[in-house]
Amino acid sequence: MEKFIIRGGKILEGKVDVSGAKNSALALMPATLLNDGINAIENTPEVNDIHTMIKLMTELGSNINFDKHRLTIDNSNVNNQVAPYELVKKMRASIYVLGPLLTRFGYAKVSMPGGCAWGPRPINLHLEAMKKLGAEIELELGYIIAKSKRLRGAKIHFDVPSVGATGNTLMAAALAKGSTLISNAATEPEIVSLAEYLTKMGAKINGIGTKMIEIEGVDTLSPADYYNIPDRIEAGTLLIAAGITGGNVTLCNVMPNHVDTILIKLEEAGFRLESNENEITLRSTGAIANVDVTTDVYPGFPTDMQAQWIALMSLANGTSTITDTIYPDRFNHVPELARLGANIEVVNNSAVVKGVGKLTGAKVMSTDLRASASLVLAGLAASGTTEILRIYHIDRGYQRIEEKLKTLGADIERVKTDEY
């Protein structure tokens, strides 16, 4: 096991590159299963969830090479349509193989993802969409078994604009017979990148980035190469790292329009923000103002930034309320932040954060990916030493975050430990 040791109080300064988006790459990779050739995805982050997807796709028969952020995926020998429990339980995004396998092979057997660290994360919308496209779905011994002859286009409305269900439906519909309409589709940048990639493969998609997506199914798709988008959540996390330490930092290789809402909220909190085509600079101006946020689907404030915002607000001049409408139970970071001196009360799906004058280092434990990011942020601002255990959670989605933070002047080390 490894842990982080952070000696807080260093002001972050300088420039840092943002990595490619994990949640985009996790959709782009299974999308390659729609063709039987060699595909390349550039700007893929070196994070553990990508390695889990590599293992899963290798199990299906893909031949994958991952070198310097470039994934080369050869799908000419895909011959297995079973996504086993051992891999799916590690990462819910494994459900993304369902649509491509079903539509290309007429069969997919995918383990049910089950709950996650912060509560239930259903997949009913994925399954209902596959049924609408003509699949027969059975649940057997913890597995989804989906079968069909060629899928047929259909009109599908999502009561909730789910990222994963939109992605799975896009991939399945791309090879279906006839046209599919997805109404109330997710509009997240990761879905836009998936739709653009499918288009490069030859898919016919209209309404990309809107809530109404139309897909005209084609008979085959060809291999294609794609340059992945930057990670907007890593960008937001690094901006807060700068702000929480009173620093001045420039992010490079970022798409400012993907983080507009985060930038607006940071400005309200008293930071100065400047952006150009692919850089964002944050400058601190003094005290942190208290700013409420409510998470929402894109372009709302992302649930994946909720924990980090709570860390920032725990040092604000006043009280703020942070409400999560996407995942009402996603507050595992709160008791750990309290160990550093934060004053937070969770009421239903809101955290009421009373800003405190200072945080003080302590030993804390990561419970999930974004919760660990919030602990790192709080540790950077806390006086004294913070130790963060179970950092395998952060390694799922942030590429060597300690190295990026060190580049900016943070005192953070990754060390081996027997502690769990």
Taken as a whole, the chain contains a residue count of 420
Task: Residue 160: name the closest of 122, 192, 191, 207 by CA.
Answer: 122
By CB under 6 A, the count of residues binding ligand EPU is 25
Q: Does 99 bind ligand EPU (CB under 6 A)?
A: no
Among 12, 125, 240, 337, binds ligand EPU (CB under 6 A): 125
CB of 92 to ligand EPU, least distance (A): 6
- Closest CB 173 distance from ligand EPU, rounded Å: 16
For ligand EPU, the closer of residues 54 and 326 by Cβ is 326
CA distance 137 to 127: 7
Determine whether the annotation assigns residue 22 to a binding site. yes
The yes or no reply on residue 122 touching ligand EPU (CB under 6 A) is yes
Q: What is the amino acid identity at position 308?
A: Q
Contact stretch for ligand EPU (CB under 6 A) within 30-38, 102-110, 159-167, 277-285: 159-167
Contact mark string toward ligand EPU, 325..364, x via CB under 6 A: -xx-------------------------------------
Q: Could you say whether residue 162 binds ligand EPU (CB under 6 A)?
A: yes
Residue 139 CA to residue 156 CA, distance in Å, equals 22
Instruction: Say which DSSP state 152 is in.
Output: B
- List the interface residues with ligand EPU, window 258-297 (CB under 6 A): none
CA distance linking residue 402 with residue 398, whole number of Å: 9
Region at 63 (left for phi over 0; alpha for psi -120 to 50; beta for the rest): beta
Q: Which of 38, 40, 116, 289 is catalytic?
A: 116
The distance of closest approach from Cβ of residue 366 to ligand EPU in the complex, given in angstroms and rounded to an integer, is 12
331-359 as b/e: b if 16+ CB within 10 A: bbbbebbebbbbebebeebbbbbebeeeb
Residue 332: alpha-carbon gap to chain centroid: 17
Measured CA distances, 307 to 112, 148, 229, 294, 311 (Å): 27, 41, 23, 12, 6
Do residues 228 and 20 lie in contact, with contact meaning Cβ atoms separated by under 8 Å? yes
Q: Are 248 and 283 in contact (CB under 8 A)?
A: yes
Q: Residue 79 annotated as binding?
A: no
CA 190 to chain centre: 9
292 has binding-site annotation: no
Stretch that binds ligand EPU, among 155-163, 175-183, 316-324, 344-352 (CB under 6 A): 155-163
Closer CB to ligand EPU, 156 or 362, in the complex: 156
Query: How many other C-beta atoms lie within 10 A of the C-beta of residue 158?
Result: 18
The amino acid present at 379, given as its one-letter code, is G
139 binds ligand EPU (CB under 6 A): no
DSSP sequence for 75-123: -TT----EE-HHHHTT-GGGGGGHHHHHHHHSEEEEE----BTTB----
Please tell me the distance from the alpha carbon of residue 365 to that of residue 402, in angstroms, as a whole number: 16
315 contributes a contact to ligand EPU by CB under 6 A: no
Confirm or reject binding of residue 369 to ligand EPU (CB under 6 A). yes
Rule CB under 6 A: say whether 240 interacts with ligand EPU. no
Report in angstroms how near the CB of residue 2 gets to ligand EPU at its nearest: 20
> Is 219 part of any known ligand binding site?
no
Site for ligand EPU in 26-85 (CB under 6 A): 26
Pick from 69, 89, 121, 200 the residue near ligand EPU by CB under 6 A: 121
By CB under 6 A, residue 164 contacts ligand EPU: yes
Q: Are 316 and 244 in contact (CB under 8 A)?
A: no
**63 is known to lie in a ligand binding site:** no
Least spacing, CB of residue 277 vs ligand EPU, in Å: 25
Catalytic, 116? Answer yes
| Window 181-220: contact mask with ligand EPU (x via CB under 6 A) | -----x---x------------------------------
Q: Determine which residue in the list 146, 163, 322, 405 makes contact with ligand EPU, applying CB under 6 A.
A: 163
Annotated binding site for phosphoenolpyruvate: 22-23
Residues that bind ligand EPU (CB under 6 A): 23, 26, 92-93, 121-126, 160, 162-165, 186, 190, 302-304, 326-327, 369-370, 397
Active site residues: 116
